[in-house]
Amino acid sequence: MYQAIQKLINSLQQAVLKSFTSDRGKEFACYKDVERHGIDFYFADPFSAWQIAINENSNGL
């Protein structure tokens, strides 16, 4: 997952990426690496899909 996030970081301006919010999946264990780029990383509360609305909206499409 970190490699995918790294590509995103490299392709966008740093000012665009202020934070990430994800579910609590183990694939996001790399959150400390992401935070080293100055990007805040948040985890949604369990059973609170509305906290990651963009992801859930995309899944619904």
- Helix, strand, coil: what percent of the chain each, to 5? 50, 15, 40
- Contact yes or no for 31/3 (Cβ under 8 A): no
Q: How far apart are CA 33 and CA 55, in angstroms?
A: 21
Distance CA 46, CA 57 (A): 18
More confidently predicted of 45 and 61: 45
pLDDT tens, 12-46? 877 788 888 888 889 999 999 999 999 999 998 88
pTM confidence score: 0.69
**pLDDT given for residue 46 in this prediction:** 83
Say yes or no to pLDDT of 9 above 80: yes
